[in-house]
Amino acid sequence: ADEDSGELLTTLPSWTARRRIEVIGTWTSSSHVSAVEHDLQSDFARLLRPPRVMYSRLNAEVATQSIGFPDLLHPSMSAAMATVDTVRTMTGIGTDILTTVGPSTENIPLRGVDFATLRSRSQVSNTRDLYLNDACIDAWGALVTDNEVCVFSSLVVSHLFDGRGPHVIPTVADVVRWVRRMARRGIDLFTCRAWVFPMCQNLHWRVGIVSFESRSVSVVDPLGAQPAGFTSRLCAFVAIAHFALHGSPWSMEGWIHGPLGTFSPLQPDLFSCGLFPILVMRCLHHRARLPMGHIGDDVVDQWRRLITHEFVIGRIASSGA
């Protein structure tokens, strides 16, 4: 169906030619997502849990293999280092596309300036040059997105929380459009193991996780922060998506939500936060336990090399032990 035709994947009795849907009570396609969140606030408050509980639930249910992130097998980088270092220093052709990543329908171009953000600390004079941008996060998300783990674009998440400017704030119709776009790619959202929501605010990356295996909605912040309202907004997203695709309210029975706080894997500096959404995606992809606490500088440099290599070869190079 055409994206603007007003046709839902599942026909709802209340859908009209004026593109309005009655979701629950007074929700319509023009309702703000924040209004949905407010309507369900009492339910969300009941499901809120502290970081320790969130971390335990996520890892206990999601990591069905008895492996942690350090146990994942990474390829030897010795043979690939020449290529890795070459593409990471091609900043002089910053606007030229060096490669594209992801399925043909969702190819994400990567340029010299994108690869430059994956250099190691010793290769730059200004650490601001090492902040991963949206292209890198979305490109790795395209490598992992399938019918098990679905990664939403960072631009979608930015709009979900911040809107597209002071006068354009996210609505029910926006969420419906986003989930339909995933469905057109052949992704059955509610049979996925997890949804991932990378988000950047004020040059800081964090990542939301909706885990259907652990029935949890959590947020990983590599500074250990507990952002207020992040997980309840994601819960509202799930509620809208479920009604749009299935025509029935989302049952929150058995679900919990909340930030991981200091139980998150923590960045060793102020500029490597963009690596952590990729860390979360990698753990979910391999069903590996999410690490907790501070990550060393040497490990972060290894991640930068590995991610560069994966972009060059166009696939995930790590594997389960």
Domain boundaries, the chain: 33-313
Q: Where are the beta strands (DSSP E) in 187-285?
A: 194-201, 204-211, 216-220, 256-259, 265-266
pLDDT at 279 over 90: yes
Residue 180 exposure: Cα atoms within 13 Å on the Cβ side: 19
pLDDT at res. 18: 30
Considering the domain 33-313 in this protein, what is its CATH number? 3.40.395.10
How open is the CA angle 261-276-150, to the nearest 5 degrees? 100
pLDDT at res. 41: 84
Residue 98, number of CB atoms within 10 A of its CB: 17
pTM for the structure as a whole? 0.86
pLDDT at 319 over 60: yes
pLDDT at 2 over 70: no
**Do 215 and 252 form a contact (C-beta atoms < 8 A)?**
no
